[in-house]
Chain A
Amino acid sequence: MNARGRMSRRELLKVTALAGGGLMLELSLNRPATAEELSTLLSSRELNAYIRIAPDGEITIYSSIPEMGQGVKTALPMIVAEEMGARWEDVKIIQAPIDESRFGLQGAGGSTSIPNNIGAMRRMGASAREMLIGAAALLMEVDRADLDARDSRVVHRSGESRTFGQLAALAAEQPVPDPEMLSFKDPRSYTIIGTAVGGVDNLVIATGQSEFGIDVDVPGMKYASYTSCPRVGGKAIRFNEAEIKGLPGIADAFILAPDDRAGRASMGFLNGLAALRGGVAIVGDDSWSVFEAKRRLDVKWDTTGASDDDWSRMVEQAKGVARKGNGETLAAGVSVDEALADPENRVHEAFYQFPYVAHVCMEPMNCTAAYRKGQGGEPDTLEVWLGSQFPAQVKEIAQNMLGLAPENVIVNPKRLGGGFGRRAVHDFATEAMAISHRAGVPVKLTWTRPDDIHNDLFRVGGFENMKGAVNPDGKLAAWDQHYIGFAKGGKPVIGSGLRGNELPQSVMKNARVRQTMVDVATRCGAWRAPGSNTNAFVEQSFLHELAVLAGRDHVEFLLEQMEPRRWVTEGNVNALNTGRAMDVIRLVAEKASWGKEMPEGSGQGMAFYFCHAAHVAEVAEVTVDADRNFRVDKVTVAVDVGPIINMSGAIGQVQGAVVDGLSTMALQQITMKDGVIQQDNFHQYPVMRIGSTPAIDVHFIQSDNPSTGLGEPALPPLAPAVTNAIFAATGIRIRSMPLSAEGFNLV
């Protein structure tokens, strides 16, 4: 690295003296940085926070990542505050505006917010601390080596101290430390990280102050609904326009033609998903009027080439494919056919299936958009308010669909009433922008719950045909897995198919994995722990089936697969580590008293899964009655995601994932017939209610691996833990979700 490179890197950290004597430390890109600068110092996605200290001592930390209930708005500032030596009570958190040139990637997905940002947060905090210490050394005329920052003060060895507020003005004049020279606190001296801190917005939420996208109210705003063709790919030809426009409270109604330009996305996995679908927009004076008008809508659709997906046909087709048994080979194994044919071995085959499911965020998708015509030669502008996992994507849509330059688009991120992957895609924002553009007024588009379900990007369903063999010693001899999933244009949709790091083939010696993809028109998307949330069910259930076949204890059988302790991909700390896996399996077994005597009709089931760099094992205890009513009495969870930042948030995420996993596996299924989604609202697509909530006992192994995210990885092991427990209680093996469709009723 040359001297010039160093200089320019220094410029990335900018200090601003505030009027009134404050300090603002900003990670700033006031000119385009070169890719080299970014990657050598702070990779661009880490540039996302700044700290402000007011003379009265109030510390403001900006949080740039969308908050959707995963707790990032609390956890990331905790890291900053810890390193700088602030008292948490003195810290105020403000959601940063959307400006990726300044903050880097402002997105939330894939449980990456913590791992992607922890380094930058620490450097921000440590830089501020060094500058405050520098200021105190000057002011107190002491050696900086004798100074330390804690409790929002810089304290001298002698006990004399200054508050951060007193130091802020002078600190702003201190040189910004070289990021490479920064030192970090010893984790043993942490006072904030690892403690239980309540969500920073709890007061706002508990008192009902408006905060979510759906609460936005803009002067002159109208309300809008949109009805897209029930069959994906169709478009509107005409509708009962005169009748609709004559209804009370209705200002306008019009057809929008499909527009694929809006779907073009630079983030590959989002490409195509936010395209405008053909449909009818209604604009009126309030939500109720446009919803009522929507109910009376009578549209003539052109369904040429539209989806004719049919779930029952998919099931039949998949069974046919499984019988043929071929497919693309992802892993060949060593001698799978020999082991399956060996008369000494016991062999077992089973067909598993899992349904399409919807996100049903509690806050239905909505977006407010104000398209404003430029006056006197000024360019047109657009302002957008929404809850989004990747808010900057909205600018891209506006550019592609409406030709607006990014600087003429303002995006106001709002709290998300649930994300779970759904709000990574902005088809609803596309609609709101197109409607405002056409209607010439600001509009708030709210999807009804049926819109929200019909137009979801579903967790993809699928099938797996499993074969396995155990040898006379009760050891696994062969694993033969055939995944039958769904693709668009030859590419598996998000969440469909198997990946190289998948369990158990990544640790097994003799595993064959094959895959067959069938084309689908139904829209699919990322759903909390994509892929893992279904693969865990199949693989961890079938592994249990083989343990039973071998007459072995499940935990012992599982541990045997993990031997010896190792990283599956050497040198990659985000890979599966079989030692960490064994540790969580042993811990959960101990905490749940694995193998204890269970009453008649009750049983324990266990599952382990690795995803998002997290190792998680769960034990479920269930009770089943003669009518197949079942309750999950208790779930014990052991997690290794490295050191925990916010203990309260972490436990909450695990509890939530367990409830979500149970709700989904027990109750939820989306089906399609002739291309039309069959479920309209919660009466046909229920969510688990409070009465079914098990006791949830959460344990963390705070290994010295890097801290990683926890929004997703506690969900996948829940389903197989429950079905394995039902098998232990009843001898009945469940190979298809949801359990309600198998006659098992969650109580």
Chain B
Amino acid sequence: MSRFKLTVNGELQEVDVSPDMPLLWVLRDKLKLMGTKFGCGIAQCGACTVHLDGAAVRSCTLPVSAVTGAVTTIEGLAGTGDLHPLQAAWIEHDVPQCGYCQAGQIMSAAALLATNSRPADEDIDAALAGNYCRCGTYVRIRKAVHTAASFYNADAGDQG
């Protein structure tokens, strides 16, 4: 067991765990942040996607000892705002079916929009290729990402 200091959703956290413990289980079992999901444990399904310094990573295969940056989970995605534009778009397009994969989908999409605010379908497909949806909500996921992107662009337009 070792002590680790982590910044999660802007808050400093300290945990006493095995260095090998993946970030996923630190979040879920130790910090009780249950929004990040377990699906496979081998970086195949994307249910566990979080941001490490803004980049999408699979927390199920990331040992806590390797976490060097700030962690953002679905619970912290909106920051101080009410909803992240993606979350609003997810609701508008009625994307979720069972809903289990959706936190991971939104986190992957958020990392995409942070670097590409006008993604084409191909960009969305590439950024979300690591995220399974067993319920098959892919059609609406694409639509919702486009809607959220247009929100970003409208914002940029206002400021420009």
Q: A-side interface residues toward B, CB under 8 Å? A: 68-71, 196-199, 201-203, 205-212, 214-215, 217, 223, 248-249, 286-289, 291-292, 360-364, 415-420, 446, 448-449, 648-649, 652-653, 655-660, 663, 681-683, 686-691, 693, 695-696
Interface residue B13 (Cβ < 8 Å from any Cβ of A): no
Nearest-neighbour CB distance to chain B for A583, whole angstroms, equals 25
Interface residue B111 (Cβ < 8 Å from any Cβ of A): no
The answer to whether A659 and B138 have CB atoms under 8 Å apart is yes
The answer to whether B128 and A690 have CB atoms under 8 Å apart is yes
Nearest-neighbour CB distance to chain A for B80, whole angstroms, equals 14
Q: B-side interface residues toward A, CB under 8 Å? A: 1, 17-18, 20-22, 25, 28-30, 32, 34-42, 44-45, 47, 73-75, 77-78, 83, 86-87, 90-92, 94-103, 106, 124-126, 128-129, 131-142
Chain A: CB-nearest residue to B42: A681
The answer to whether A210 and B139 have CB atoms under 8 Å apart is no
The answer to whether A660 and B135 have CB atoms under 8 Å apart is yes
The answer to whether A656 and B97 have CB atoms under 8 Å apart is yes
The answer to whether A363 and B83 have CB atoms under 8 Å apart is no
5 CB contacts below 8 A, A to B, read A69-B98, A199-B96, A206-B102, A362-B45, A658-B136
Chain A residue contacts of B18, Cβ below 8 A: 248-249, 288-289
Counting from the closest, the 4 A-B pairs by CB-CB distance are A208-B35, A659-B136, A208-B74, A417-B100
Q: A205-B102, A449-B40, A681-B42 known; A362 and B91 CB under 8 Å? A: no
Chain A residue contacts of B102, Cβ below 8 A: 205-206
With A and B bound together, what is the CA distance between A660 and B137 in angstroms? 10
With A and B bound together, what is the CA distance between A690 and B134 in angstroms? 11
The answer to whether B94 and A648 have CB atoms under 8 Å apart is yes
The answer to whether A690 and B142 have CB atoms under 8 Å apart is yes
Given contacts A202-B95, A206-B87, A209-B35, 13 further A-B contacts (CB under 8 A): A71-B97, A198-B91, A205-B102, A208-B75, A286-B21, A287-B25, A418-B134, A652-B97, A652-B137, A656-B135, A656-B137, A681-B40, A687-B132
- Residue with the greatest number of chain A CB neighbours at <10 A, chosen from B17, B22, B32, B34: B34
With A and B bound together, what is the CA distance between A698 and B148 in angstroms? 24
The answer to whether A652 and B140 have CB atoms under 8 Å apart is yes
From B73, B98, B103, B139, A68 is in contact (CB under 8 Å) with B98
The answer to whether B35 and A198 have CB atoms under 8 Å apart is no
Chain B: CB-nearest residue to A448: B41
With A and B bound together, what is the CA distance between A389 and B142 in angstroms? 29
The answer to whether B36 and A208 have CB atoms under 8 Å apart is yes
From B21, B125, B133, A691 is in contact (CB under 8 Å) with B125
Nearest-neighbour CB distance to chain B for A545, whole angstroms, equals 28
Q: A214-B38, A287-B25 known; A689 and B45 CB under 8 Å? A: no
From A418, A695, A696, B100 is in contact (CB under 8 Å) with A418
Chain A residue contacts of B73, Cβ below 8 A: 208
With A and B bound together, what is the CA distance between A720 and B133 in angstroms? 23
Chain B: CB-nearest residue to A291: B41
The answer to whether A360 and B136 have CB atoms under 8 Å apart is no
With A and B bound together, what is the CA distance between A206 and B74 in angstroms? 8
From A198, A286, A418, A690, B141 is in contact (CB under 8 Å) with A690
Nearest-neighbour CB distance to chain A for B100, whole angstroms, equals 3
With A and B bound together, what is the CA distance between A196 and B140 in angstroms? 14
The answer to whether A205 and B34 have CB atoms under 8 Å apart is no
The answer to whether A202 and B140 have CB atoms under 8 Å apart is no
Q: A682-B45, A690-B128, A690-B138 known; A206 and B96 CB under 8 Å? A: yes
